[in-house]
Structure 1
Amino acid sequence: MTNIKLKELRAEIDRLDAELLSVLEKRIAIVGDIAAAKSDDGKAIAFRPGREASVLRNILHKHSSKLPDTVIAAIWRELIAAVGGLQKPYSVSITAPDKSVGYWDLARFHFGSATPMTLHQLPSVVLRDVSENPSVLGVLPWLSRERDTWWEHLAQGGDNVPKILAALPFLDNPSGEFEDLNSLVIGQAEPEPSGDDISLIVAVTSAEVSRARLNEHLETTGLNGFCADSRSPAIEEGDWLHLLEIPEFIAEDDPRLSAFHELLGENVIKIVILGAYAVPMKS
Structure 2
Amino acid sequence: MTDAAKTPSLADLRAEIDRIDETMHRLLMERSEIIDRLVQVKRTQTEGSAFRPAREASMMRSLVERHHGLLPLDTVESIWRVIIATFTYVQAPYSVHADLSVGEPLMRDSARFHFGFTAPFVPHMGARAVVEAVAASRGDLGLLPAAMVPGSDAWWTALEGVTAPKIIARLPFVERADHPAGLPVFVVSHPIADAAVTEVSTFSVRVAGWSARAAAAVATHAEVLAVADGALDGAALLVSVRGTDGGTVQDVLRQSGASVRSFIPVGSHAAPYRFGMDSAGIARP
Q: TM-score, normalised by structure 1?
A: 0.77
The verdict on how the C-alpha distance between 1:84 and 1:101 changes in structure 2, with shifts beyond 3 A counting, is same
The equivalent of 1:234 in structure 2 is: 231
Note the C-alpha offset of 1:83: 0.5
Q: CA RMSD in A?
A: 3.6
Residue correspondences, number = 267
The equivalent of 1:30 in structure 2 is: 34
The equivalent of 1:273 in structure 2 is: 265
The verdict on how the C-alpha distance between 1:79 and 1:152 changes in structure 2, with shifts beyond 3 A counting, is closer
2:98 is equivalent to residue 94 of structure 1 = yes
Please tell me the residue identity of whatever aligns with 2:13.
Answer: L
The equivalent of 1:169 in structure 2 is: 172
* Equivalent residues of 2:223, 2:240 under 8 A apart: yes
Please tell me the residue identity of whatever aligns with 1:134.
Answer: R
Note the C-alpha offset of 1:167: 2.0
Q: Residues 202-213 of structure 1: matches in 2 within 5 Å?
A: 202-205=204-207, 207-208=208-209
Please tell me the residue identity of whatever aligns with 1:245.
Answer: S
Match of 1:112 among 101, 112, 116: 116
* Equivalent residues of 1:193, 1:249 under 8 A apart: no
Aligned to 1:47, the other structure's residue is in SS state coil
Query: 2:223, 2:17 → 1: CA distance?
Result: 53
The equivalent of 2:282 in structure 1 is: none
Identity of aligned residues (%): 27
Note the C-alpha offset of 1:158: 2.5
Aligned to 1:51, the other structure's residue is in SS state helix
Moved over 6 A (4+): 214-219
Please tell me the residue identity of whatever aligns with 2:222.
Answer: G
Deviations 1:184-228 (A, max 9, x none): 11111336227xx432112345x4366756886998xxxx43555
2:188 is equivalent to residue 186 of structure 1 = yes
The verdict on how the C-alpha distance between 1:173 and 1:151 changes in structure 2, with shifts beyond 3 A counting, is same
Note the C-alpha offset of 1:106: 1.3
Match of 1:45 among 49, 53, 57: 49
Aligned to 2:186, the other structure's residue is in SS state strand
Deviations 1:151-175 (A, max 9, x none): 433353221x211122233334665
Match of 2:83 among 75, 79, 82: 79
The equivalent of 1:243 in structure 2 is: 238
Q: More deviation in 32-41 or 78-87?
A: 32-41
Aligned to 1:241, the other structure's residue is in SS state strand
Query: 2:47, 2:212 → 1: CA distance?
Result: 37
Please tell me the residue identity of whatever aligns with 2:267.
Answer: G
* Equivalent residues of 2:218, 2:224 under 8 A apart: no
Note the residue ranges of structure 1 that are not aligned, 5 or more in a row. none
Please tell me the residue identity of whatever aligns with 1:5.
Answer: S
